[in-house]
Structures are given as C-alpha cells and as structure tokens.
Amino acid sequence: MTKTWLITGTSSGLGRLLAERLLARGDTVFATLRRDGALDDLKEQYTDRLHVLTLDVTDTRATRTCIAGAFEAAGRIDVVVSNAGYGLFGAGEEVTDEQIDRQIATNLTGSIQVIRAALPHLRAEGGGRIVQVSSEGGQIAYPNFSLYHTTKWGIEGFVESVAKEVAPFGIDFVIVEPGPTSTQFGAGLDHAKPMPEYEHTPAGDVRRAIATNSFAIRGDAGKTVDAMIAAADSAHPPLRLTLGGTAYESIRAALTERLKALEAQKDIAYSADS
C-alpha cells in the first residue's frame, strides 16, 4: 500500500535520500527545500508523485501556509518528516548572538512549528505519524557543538511531551537519532570564529579531529534511511530510533553514567521531601 509523505529539508543529506527511496518504491512525496532546483532531476523523473515546495522553516507563517497547502493538495498525508536543520560548530563562548538565534530558529523553533502546523490536519484525518530527525546529539553532548545540542535536546523534550498529548488522536511520533553518518552534514556546518583560549581544550580536540578527518564516521546513509522508512511503516514503532553503532554505544554510555550519578544521589533527593 503506497503512502503520501511530507518531508522538510530535502535539498541534500538524509532528506534527499529519503525522498529518492520513497519515490522509487511508488510513494508520493511533498518535499520542501530552501534552494530552488535541488530536486529538478527527481521532479523530471517522478513528475506526478513528487511535489516540490519552497520553504524556510524559520518563517512560521510560511510554514503553516505551506503545510496546509500540502495537506489540501494531497487529500491525505500519512507521514510528516521534520528533517530541516544544520549544525553550528563552535564553543558556547565563541558563537555569535546571530548564529545562536539562527540555530535555534531553524533546528528547534522551526521543527516545533512544523509539528504544530501538521497536528490539526492529522487530527482531522483521524491519525498519522510524525518522524522527527534528531541525532545521537539529542541524548549526548560533544564539545564544540553546544548550540546544536541545545536544539536537539530541546526538540526531543518537546516531542516526548506532545506525543503524550496527541496519542488519543491516533497520532504517534518517531524520534530518529543517527550517529555520525556519511552525508553532507559537514558541508553545511556554520563555523564560529575560534578563540585561541580554546585551542588546548576538549573543544579544540574536536575541531582538530574533524579537520584531520580522524573523527570516526561509521553510519551508512542508505541503511539509515531504510531503517527510518521501516520504522515509519511499522504498526508500533519506538518513540526513539537509535541508528548506528556509534550512536548506540555513546547513548548507552551516557545513560548508564547518568543513572549511576542519579542513584548516588538517592538519599539527598529524598531528604528534600517534606
């Protein structure tokens, strides 16, 4: 049975590959992007089933208009994939106010508004599924990505709460948490101006690792997208979908350490009760 999908951020990376795989299997895709022409080759091949929409998710009014128009044109959309986003590379002290505002407006506020815009239409349909593309960085934190992690931890908290709110309407969520994956993510990074004070710190270590290509990237983009599609097709998908050995190992280690630290504070925690 074919499905209709709405996907944001399809110019490149996982969004583009997701659109390719879905179209190849016979589904219909409403694909949003900021850069005109990025999907012209796919549009030529899938004229009737690919609908390309120009959208910058930082424009909330445009987001609502675009998503409402897609639902109206489609008649029904089965899966909404909130994928638009990018990385901001720099220590928390190094990034500019403007970089902070843009990162939050795109990755966090933009994702929130995509979801908010889709919910009334999915309720009217009697249910549906929203896939939020996050990252292992929604559960762990690397130095030099502090603002990126801010947005990913934030959107995961938003989705976890909203998932409980809309479950009675038959709407469910999948939060996708890939580890480092071979996509064009690195090419789209926004870089802060490095401060010499951070050269010999963990932030500097991460910078050097990426600059010298010694930062391990084990994730396969094609396999990642296939797992996303399988989860979206599943009758009962997990709320969080961790993808890649690096993501599994790093998230497991972080959660284990967090639980260990919590349990060590049990007596202190209970001492604060009346």
- 50-75 pLDDT, tens digit per residue, is 999 999 999 999 999 999 999 999 99
- 142-154 pLDDT, tens digit per residue, is 999 999 999 999 9
Residue from 11, 82, 111, 134 carrying the catalytic annotation: 134
More confident: 217 or 148: 148
- 34-43 pLDDT, tens digit per residue, is 988 899 999 9
Query: Quick check: is 233 in a domain?
Result: yes
Q: What is the tally of structural domains in the chain?
A: 1
Query: Quick check: is 274 in a domain?
Result: no
- Phi and psi at 267, nearest 5°, equal -65, -40
Query: Quick check: is 191 in a domain?
Result: yes
**pLDDT class of 214 with cuts at 50, 70, 90:** low
270 included as an active-site residue: no
Closest CA to 145 of 189, 97, 84: 189
C-alpha 238/C-alpha 174 separation (Å) is: 6
82 within 8 A of 75, measured Cβ to Cβ: no
266 included as an active-site residue: no
Query: Quick check: is 241 in a domain?
Result: yes
148 included as an active-site residue: yes
pLDDT score for 36: 83
Query: Quick check: is 8 in a domain?
Result: yes
* Separation in Å, CA 83 to CA 106, 135, 256: 10, 11, 28
- 88-102 pLDDT, tens digit per residue, is 999 999 999 999 999
Domain that holds residue 219: 4-265
Query: Quick check: is 271 in a domain?
Result: no
Query: Quick check: is 273 in a domain?
Result: no
Task: Report the CATH number at residue 187.
Answer: 3.40.50.720
Q: Mean pLDDT throughout 194-219?
A: 85
C-alpha 138/C-alpha 154 separation (Å) is: 8
User: Dihedral sign, CA of 146, 32, 162, 172?
Assistant: negative
Query: Quick check: is 146 in a domain?
Result: yes
Task: Reply yes or no on whether the pLDDT at 186 is more than 70.
Answer: no
pLDDT score for 179: 87
Residue from 86, 146, 152, 198 carrying the catalytic annotation: 152
pLDDT score for 181: 73
pLDDT score for 180: 78
More confident: 256 or 215: 256
